[in-house]
Amino acid sequence: DLGYTAEDFSGDAQFWKNDDQNKGFFKKGWAYLATVTGRWPGGAHWPDMDQAVFSKTVSRLTEQLSEAPLNASGAVEGQSVHITKARDGRTPQDLRLLLADISDYSLSGYQVPVSFQTVPAKTLTAQQLHDQLHGEVRNASYDSATDSIVPEQLGADFDIAAVQKAMDEAAPGETLTVKADIQQPEVTAADLKAVLFRDVLGEAKTHVSGSAGRIGNVKLSAQIINGLVLNSGETFSYNDTLGERTAEKGYKPAPAYSGNRLTDAIGGGVCQGSSTLYNCVLLADLEVVTRSCHGATVAYLPLGLDAAVNWGTTDFQFRNNFHFPVKIEAETTEDLVKMRILGTDEKDYYIEMTSGYDDSREDVIYAVSYKNKYSKETGELISKDREAFSTYYRNVG
């Protein structure tokens, strides 16, 4: 195993035989000197070592005698938490030097003491494990940057003091099973993978007209929001998504409402994108967080169904109050902006929007929009609820 073969010793077979038969003082002395000097009686010498075999043996023994550290860990399984106590590892001293330094190979059963260095394992207290495993229960979600599903996260709660006592009494490397209060997510990665962006939750289209600058602004805003994904619980902000409308970003001057006044502004027309998206949100029955009407009526949507935006003052926001992620798709043609929201439809009803208005006054028009819920199964009206109240000025300066 150390690189010497039987053939290497064949020339000295008689010497070894005699050595076994005669263990006298002088004979033992010769054997000792031979191991030190490499020379044997009659000119014999200690054979050369096969370095390749020696290296292979050193590697094998090093691997066998080494032990990797086992870091402390915890994992949730079913209604329990499995905790493994840390166990230090070890690595032997340099066996190449140790084995090459053996001075008496002639004695059978020769033992070589090997010392080790400790390789510390990472330890964790019960409190640290609790902090690591407890976490907030979280549904599986979608990562747009990597186009992949982020796995769900369980929540786990257990008696920290009791677990620490059990860990203190456990042997290094031992795994403990701890009873815990496990909170399960509503949506797992497997659930999400099967239904991700499966359904059209709401869609709308509006006619685009006006100056080339306005049309260009509408197209640019649609390009920015196209493909945006909201995971469950996340809120969309039109202003935050588009950012400040500037010439450096490609926006052009175009007519825009400022209160009840119509003026040229960089980015004029982007409200058509927010208004078209607003209608998708209504039909999808997502939660509207904030929405404002324009100062005057718009030509591309019925009264009460528009959503004005202005950088720094007026925003359109909605929240994904569903269990599954939703995706915004937006595109423009020569004279249309089309948007839709994809997701996973969990509803047993569908939405239709209606609006009414009162134009009896000379200075303003009052409009009310209604959300009508219909049964998917029977088509019957389930409910009719007021969605928003809007005020439009007649006289626009």
**Of 243, 247, 268, 244, which Cα lies nearest the Cα of 257?**
268
> Predicted confidence band at 30 (pLDDT cuts at 50, 70, 90)?
very low
Look at 65 and 395; give whichever has higher pLDDT: 65
CA separation, residue 217 to residues 165, 220, 240, 268 (Å): 65, 5, 16, 7
Characterize 136-166 residue by residue with b for buried, 16 or more Cβ atoms within 10 angstroms of its Cβ, and e for exposed: eebbbbbeeeeeebeebbbbbebebeebeeb
Lowest mean pLDDT among 92-96, 123-127, 187-191, 227-231: 92-96
Question: Is there a contact between 319 and 235 (Cβ–Cβ < 8 Å)?
Answer: yes
* pLDDT value of residue 137: 83
DSSP state letter for 35: H
| pLDDT tens-place string over residues 287-339 | 999 999 999 999 999 999 999 999 999 999 999 999 999 999 999 998 999 99
Give the helix ranges, DSSP H, for the chain. 13-21, 25-37, 51-65, 95-100, 126-134, 160-169, 189-195, 212-225, 238-242, 270-284
Q: Give the percent of the chain with pLDDT over 70.
A: 84
Question: Is there a contact between 341 and 328 (Cβ–Cβ < 8 Å)?
Answer: yes
Q: How deeply is 295 buried, as exposed, middle or buried, from its count of CB atoms within 10 A (0-12, 13-18, 19+)?
A: middle
Look at 259 and 57; give whichever has higher pLDDT: 57
What is the four-CA torsion angle of 91, 96, 97, 100, rounded to 10 degrees?
Answer: 140
| pLDDT tens-place string over residues 151-182 | 988 888 889 999 999 999 999 999 999 888 88
Q: What is the mean pLDDT of residues 28-41?
A: 49
Q: Give the percent of the chain with pLDDT over 90.
A: 64
Question: Is there a contact between 300 and 272 (Cβ–Cβ < 8 Å)?
Answer: yes
| pLDDT tens-place string over residues 197-239 | 999 999 999 999 999 999 999 999 999 999 999 999 999 999 9
* pLDDT value of residue 5: 67
Mean pLDDT, the chain, whole residue set: 87
In order, the DSSP letters of 61-117 are: HHHHH-B--B--EEEEETTEEEEE--B-EEEE--HHHHHHT---TTSTT------EE
Q: Give SS3 for 11.
A: helix
Question: Is there a contact between 269 and 358 (Cβ–Cβ < 8 Å)?
Answer: no
Q: What is the mean pLDDT of residues 118-122?
A: 93
> Predicted confidence band at 32 (pLDDT cuts at 50, 70, 90)?
very low
* pLDDT value of residue 9: 54
